[in-house]
Amino acid sequence: MSFFKRLTSRKKKTETSCKADRGILVFEHTSEVIKAESILKKAGWNIRVMGPPPEIRSGCDLVIEIPLIEKLNILRTLENIGTSPMEIVPVSSPLLQPVDLFQNKDFGKYLMIRAANMKLTVEKETQTIVNISGGGCPDVPYLASKMVGMSLNEAPSPREIGHTLCGYALQLAYEEMKRR
């Protein structure tokens, strides 16, 4: 391939895919957008305020584009200033919803719950977290190092110490396990 063609091909590839890992925060009021933009920019995130895509039919006239993978960390930052978005959706497909199916596997002495790509396993009698598997974001090994070996009630929750969508999925499995 010629140098020029390679450059053109590179540019095209980058342009078409660069939105795929972005998400949108939808807020009820513009004042919340302004507050959130300020705190997220101050914290160093690569974000931008924009008009909502046509699929979004709720909220105010502005949305914030964020790195979607870091949803859990961004939510926690916003909660700390008392602001929560109405919705967080992927830029590429704003109508997509998070996985809400749980799958359970009963090993007798142990119970495993899967949410999306994350699996949490607990010893039933002691409620000790014995394993965490699945996922691909770098907070998964970190979460496992902090949670495995602790009881469900003592372990830090993924919401507290996780940062990514994998951490968010583990939070769902953790909540489902606690509910049982």
Partner 1 sequence: MIGVVGTVPDPDFPLVTGETRLESDSITIRGKQIPVNRGTPALLAAAIKTAQMLKQGPPFAYLVGDVGLGHGSRRLYEYLIGHLGKRDFSTLVFHYLQPDVDWHNRVLFAVEEMERRPVLIADAGFMYAAKMSGQSSQYDLFTPDMGELAFLADEEAPHPFYTRGFILHEENRAPKLIARAYTHKNAARCLLVKGKQDYVADRQGIQTTIDNPMEEAMEAIGGTGDTLTGIVTALIGNGMAVVKAATIAAKVNRLAGHYANPTPAMQVLEMVQHIPRALSEILQRG
For residue 70, give the nearest of 23, 113, 14, 112 by alpha carbon.
Answer: 23
Residues in contact with partner 1, total (CB under 8 A)?
A: 59
Q: How far is the C-alpha of 150 from the C-alpha of 135, rounded, in Å?
A: 20
* Binding pattern for the stretch 100-119 against partner 1, x by CB under 8 A and - elsewhere: xx---x-x-xx-x-x-xx-x
* Binding pattern for the stretch 126-145 against partner 1, x by CB under 8 A and - elsewhere: ----xxxxxxxxxxxxxxxx
Q: How far is the C-alpha of 143 from the C-alpha of 66, rounded, in Å?
A: 23
One residue of 99, 104, 178, 180 binding partner 1 per CB under 8 A: 99
CA distances to 85, 115, 139, 153, 169 from 25, rounded to whole Å, are 6, 23, 22, 31, 18
* Binding pattern for the stretch 7-26 against partner 1, x by CB under 8 A and - elsewhere: ---x--xx-xxx-xx-x---
For residue 177, give the nearest of 128, 136, 138 by alpha carbon.
Answer: 128
Residue 100 CB, nearest approach to partner 1 (Å): 8
Q: Is there binding between residue 43 and partner 1 (CB under 8 A)?
A: no
Q: Is there binding between residue 171 and partner 1 (CB under 8 A)?
A: no
CA distances to 10, 25, 75, 157 from 22, rounded to whole Å, are 20, 10, 15, 25
Interface residues with partner 1 (CB under 8 A) are 10, 13-14, 16-18, 20-21, 23, 67-70, 73, 90, 92-93, 96-101, 105, 107, 109-110, 112, 114, 116-117, 119, 121, 123, 130-145, 148, 162-169
